Amino acid sequence: MKSLAQRRRHPLAAVALILLALLITGTVYAAASSANTAQASQSRESYTAEDVDNGEKLFLANCASCHGMGAKGSPSGPSLVGVGAASVDFQVGTGRMPMAMQGPQAQKKPAQFDEEQTRQLAAYVASLGSGPAVPSEEQVDTADGDAAKGGEVFRVNCAMCHNAAAAGGALTRGKFAPALEGVSEKHIYEAMVTGPQNMPVFNDSNISPEEKKNLITFLKTIETQGSPGGADLGSLGPVSEGLFAWVAGLGIIIAFTIWLTSRSS
């Protein structure tokens, strides 16, 4: 015990302790960074040098005017270095990019590029830096998803913007959360991991891959079920329902009043 106490009082003991702490911290950080890089690089493993070259040509011809040479950004568009293949696949695959005109946010429209060209653009941007990968078929397969659990995740994280029925909703300054009906499973997953427009990023630390699959299962379930309760009135909740009840009820009262007066005369 005396020997141990003497070593603790050694003038270099504090330095050794700090060095040991730094070594442990560096090792843990390196391991975590390697895991994230490996996960982000999954999409690049299937890309060839030809894909990257063709993607660069497409980028220079169609995207560089806004996003700059080398996708480093410009006053007209942000840098794409590090956004990952998933971001490109979502934005280009849904037709949001290239934008038809400047506005509060990019709107969905028919895609300008086919699947192969979109893949090549994603390959080029993915080669510029690590970022979220395009999800695999297994990640978006809803066959073994749990719609009930997915509904809980959706209501906690998404319903305040997209509406409880995923019908979309208005945001500030002319922006909006789009309706999710008809959106593919892949694009829903990519939106969660990339956070397009005003949407926050839901990485695996916020919503696990299993929860993402359950959420997608929930959206596809309510999409196929339709509105079992009758007319959904835009799925806008008590506002549209109250307006309908007021207009219909008032109309019936007016019609009944006219009928009574006509009878009395």
Distance CA 141, CA 149 (A): 15
Contact 98, 106 (CB under 8 A): no
Distance CA 256, CA 251 (A): 8
Residue found under tokens 């990257």: 52
DSSP assignment letter at 166: S
Tokens for 164? 């409880």
Position 45 scores a pLDDT of 53
Q: Judge if pTM exceeds 0.85.
A: no
Position 164 scores a pLDDT of 85
DSSP assignment letter at 170: E
Residues ≥6 apart with Cβ < 8 Å to 144: 213
For 82-132, give the DSSP string: TSHHHHHHHHHHTT-SS-SS--SS------SS-HHHHHHHHHHHHTTS--P
| Weakly modelled stretches of the chain, pLDDT under 70 | 1-13, 15, 17, 28-45, 226-240, 264-265
The dihedral of CA 250, 256, 260, 261: what is its sign?
positive
> 72-88 pLDDT, tens per residue?
999 989 999 999 999 99
Contact 34, 130 (CB under 8 A): no
The dihedral of CA 95, 101, 107, 109: what is its sign?
negative
**AA identity, residue 90:** F
Say how many residues make up the chain. 265
Q: Residue 176's beta-bridge partner residues?
A: 170
Centroid of chain to Cα 122: 16
Pick the closest to residue 90 from 117, 123, 49, 118 (CA basis). Answer: 118
Position 229 scores a pLDDT of 55
